[in-house]
Amino acid sequence: MKDLNDILGMASRVQEELTKAQAGLDAIEVEGKSGGGLVTVRASAKGRIIGLSVDDSLIDVADKGVMEDLIVAAFNDARKKADEASGSEMAKLTAGLPLPPGFKLPF
């Protein structure tokens, strides 16, 4: 069995790796689309919105409600993809750790 210093050292290294992984998530970019690509949202895997693109054909006062719905849908699509990218990156980091079922990192 490992002594307490070994366990604390390992925990410290895991914490450092988690911190690095969290910082790296902001560099991963995902793209959400709606309306067949008429509205596109770019976001980081951390959920930060990077950009928004709206096709010129949607810019009409009469279509304002439709455009707003498409923007909401694109944001939601980007958020879903950001969550998936984040989960994938964190799974790589914790792959070798003996964590109990359902235990999620970071805390």
Asked whether residue 102 is domain-assigned, the answer is: no
Domain membership of residue 100 (yes or no) is no
pLDDT-derived band at 36 (thresholds 50, 70, 90) equals very high
104: in domain:
no
Q: pLDDT tens digits for 82-103?
A: 888 888 887 777 776 666 666 6
In a domain, 99, yes or no: no
Residue 52 falls within a domain, yes or no?
Answer: yes
The yes-or-no verdict on residue 37 having pLDDT over 50 is: yes
Domain coverage including residue 8: 4-94
Least confident residue range of 7-21, 25-39, 62-76: 7-21
The answer to whether the pTM exceeds 0.95 is: no
Beta carbons of 58 and 66 less than 8 angstroms apart: yes
**Helix, strand or coil for residue 66?**
helix
For 7-89, strand residue ranges (E) read: 29-34, 39-44, 49-54
Does 103 map to a domain?
no
DSSP 56: G
- CATH number of residue 70's parent domain: 3.30.1310.10
Evaluate whether 55 touches 67 at the Cβ level (below 8 Å). Answer: no
**How many domains are contained in the chain?**
1
As a whole number, mean pLDDT of residues 54-66 equals 84
Q: What is the mean pLDDT of residues 39-49?
A: 85
Considering the domain boundaries, does residue 27 fall inside one?
yes
Query: What are 12-33's pLDDT values in tens digits?
Result: 887 888 788 777 888 889 999 9
pLDDT of residue 100: 64
Token pair 């054909």 is found at 57
